[in-house]
């Protein structure tokens, strides 16, 4: 893994060292303060660049164009809301996605299946363990956003999201988020409406460089990536873990996100 991950700066391979403990503590503090942490330079820059070059023809010919209208919940109806409630206003997300079964031999797959990486995430999140998905489509994806494409407002279904930025665009592609807009006990529909109308003073923005590992608590923090501008696409890997083993998406979810059902 040393050829892929900067283990001198991020010593995931020495979990009993003082340096590892300091890294975990730093990430926990960032997570508590802003709902996320970033490790710039986690993936070696030459690895990210080479992977974009290798995957570009695969994305060009064999990716799924995920383009659909949706609301912030990715659900057609929400209990307690009328169908025309402004919290259910819709917008478009568009990207090209390749799935885990198309990424065998990729550094993304190597990192995803590396036990030390899962242990590190579990330590930071203070969980007994994290497990890879059984789903051969959803476990890890690479998504490309070209000019005009965007990831629009949504809440994540899993508690947290793990991403590795492989390539940054020339312009646009800004990650926008609003920390803890809702809670398990309070859906805060009025706050959702304010955010969607551009009236939330606590909206934040973040731009990261290629090779950055970002871990983000997105289940109660809505977020989006603004439309890409320019000829250079945004390319990002998304890695998904759960606290229980053997999780799979439903056939409906697989069709909606990937255009096919895993065999």
CATH of the domain at 252: 2.60.120.620
Beta strands in the chain (DSSP E): 36-39, 64-70, 91-98, 131-132, 140-145, 151-154, 161-167, 171-172, 175-177, 204-206, 213-216, 223-225, 228-229, 234-239, 241-242
Let me know if residue 5 belongs to a domain: no
pTM of the predicted model as reported, rounded to 2 decimal places: 0.92
**What whole-number distance in Å separates Cα of residue 120 and Cα of residue 126?**
10
Let me know if residue 11 belongs to a domain: no
Q: Domain range for residue 111? A: 18-258
Number of domains the chain is built from: 1
pLDDT of residue 34: 85
The tens place of each residue's pLDDT in the chain, 263 residues long, gives 999 999 999 999 999 999 999 999 999 999 998 889 999 999 998 999 999 999 999 999 999 999 989 999 989 899 989 999 999 999 999 999 999 999 999 999 999 999 999 999 999 999 999 999 999 999 999 999 999 999 999 998 778 889 999 999 999 999 999 999 999 999 999 999 999 999 999 999 998 899 999 999 889 999 999 999 999 999 999 999 999 999 999 998 899 889 999 86
Let me know if residue 120 belongs to a domain: yes
């Amino acid at each position: 893994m040393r050829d892929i991950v900067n283990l001198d700066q991020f010593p995931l391979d020495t979990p009993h060292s003082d340096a590892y403990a300091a890294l975990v503590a730093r990430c926990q503090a960032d997570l508590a303060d802003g709902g996320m942490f970033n490790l710039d330079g986690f993936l070696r820059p030459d690895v990210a660049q080479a992977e974009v070059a290798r995957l570009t023809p695969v994305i060009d010919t064999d990716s799924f164009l995920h383009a659909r209208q949706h609301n912030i919940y990715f659900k057609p109806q929400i209990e307690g809301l009328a169908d025309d409630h402004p919290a259910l206003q819709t917008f478009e997300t568009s990207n090209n996605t390749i799935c885990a079964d198309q990424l065998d031999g990729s550094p993304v797959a190597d990192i995803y299946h590396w036990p030390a990486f899962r242990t590190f995430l579990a330590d930071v999140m203070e969980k007994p363990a994290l497990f890879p998905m059984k789903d051969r489509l959803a476990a890890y994806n690479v998504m490309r956003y070209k000019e005009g494409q965007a990831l629009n407002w949504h809440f994540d279904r899993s508690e947290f999201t793990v991403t590795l930025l492989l390539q940054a665009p020339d312009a646009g592609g800004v990650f926008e988020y609003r920390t803890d807009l809702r809670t398990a006990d309070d859906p805060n529909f009025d706050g959702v409406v304010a955010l969607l109308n551009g009236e939330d003073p606590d909206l934040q923005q973040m731009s990261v460089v290629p090779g950055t590992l970002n871990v983000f608590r997105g289940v109660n923090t809505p977020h989006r990536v603004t439309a890409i501008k320019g000829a250079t696409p945004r390319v990002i890997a998304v890695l998904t873990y759960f606290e229980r083993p053997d999780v799979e998406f439903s056939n409906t979810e697989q069709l909606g996100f990937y255009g096919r059902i895993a065999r």
